[in-house]
Structures are given as structure tokens and as C-alpha cells.
Chains A and B, each alone.
Chain A
Amino acid sequence: MIDQNKCPHQNKGYMLEELDGELLLYHLDRTTTVYLNNSAALVWHLCDGTNSIAEIIAFLQEKFPKAAGEIADDVNDALVELNGAGALSLG
């Protein structure tokens, strides 16, 4: 489990394209493409280095109360995946 007080931030060097709420990131130096579905894209936008993981989860739970039960796991899964892909750092 990631420390929920960490403030993840997007890594630099990515070109970004939004397509119907999904995101494609492309890193010129690494020549890698990263795909983010709608949920991961939402998490990505919130990772600005100032929001802690706990705050991101709380924000999304407030906005999507029907899915509140799954949001914590979904956010953590997305962060692990995005971190693994090199798209963000966990802070």
C-alpha cells in the first residue's frame, strides 16, 4: 500500500493528447506511449504535486458517491500503474 500522505506529481517530458476523456501520453526521449482510461485520466489530472493521495481519494469519493467504496483501490491501482509506466512519481 502506498503512503496515502504522499503527493504524486506528473513527470515531465510527456506530450499529452485527450481523446473523449481518455489520455495518451508520449515521451519523446523514452519513445514510450502511455494510455490512460477515463478514470486514470481523472487521477492523472489531480496529481499536481499538491494533492495527497488521501485528498485525491476523498475528492473523488465526494464527486462520485455511488462508487465511493471502490475509489480508494482504483486510485491506488492507477497510481501504481502510472508510476510503473514512468508517467508520474509518487512524491
Chain B
Amino acid sequence: MSSLRPILLVEDNPNDVELTLGALRQANLANPIVVAHDGDEALDYLFRRGRHAGRSGPDPSVVFLDLKMPGTDGRQVLQSVRQSTALHHLPIVVLTSSREEADLLETYRLGANAYVVKPVAFESFVAAVSKLGFFWALLNEPPPSA
């Protein structure tokens, strides 16, 4: 089981973390889910440094990334990942409340693989997150791990 690639959820809001985890649970995914509560923690995890120095195990199959976070925000995480040679191809799905055109344009420009607006209605939210998990963790063939 440990060979399964994890899903990294980057989300500062605990409510959203809980709802997203609940939704992913309903999708019956076997993949472990790692939560980073801000951008710095996410980068530490991805680049195996700081608190996550010496982390073993494979890179995530997908990162669900919130845009608006205190400190290092989603854009900066996206930028750092895309600039690195090791994680350049890591699938990143932007999961946000914003439907602003400017955000859409910028995150795609920075190299996001998908952009999903979190629905307000719980049912739709659950459906969206399960589908995302199912697609990215199971269906999608991730790039070979470095």
C-alpha cells in the first residue's frame, strides 16, 4: 500500500480541509492524503526539507492547491514547483473559491494542470472533489518519479 502515491492537499482553512477530506473519503480512494496548512509547509514536503527533510516515499500523484493563503500563497507554490527540475511535471490542480478571470489566466500561465472552483453546495462539492481524486489519483498516469 505504501507504494501508492499520496494526494497532497494544500489548504489553510481547517473547515475546507475537513470538508475536502470528507469528500475524498467518500470517493473511497486508497491513496494516503497529506495535508499542508500553508504554502511553506507544502514546499517543505515537496522538496523534502525542513520538517519533511529526509521524507521517504514517492512524490504525490497530484497536488490540490488553494490559491489564497497567508504567507507563501498558491501562486508562489506553483511557481516554485514549475521552476524546479525534479518536480517540474508534478500534476497540480488549483482548487479555489475564486472564479476571477485574472486568477484563471495567471495560474494557467504559471503551469497549473487544472482549475476547479469549489462549489458552494455541499453535494456538488463532494461530487467535484471525488471526481478529481478519482481522476488524478487513479486514472491519470503521473510522470515518473525522480
> A and B: real partners?
no
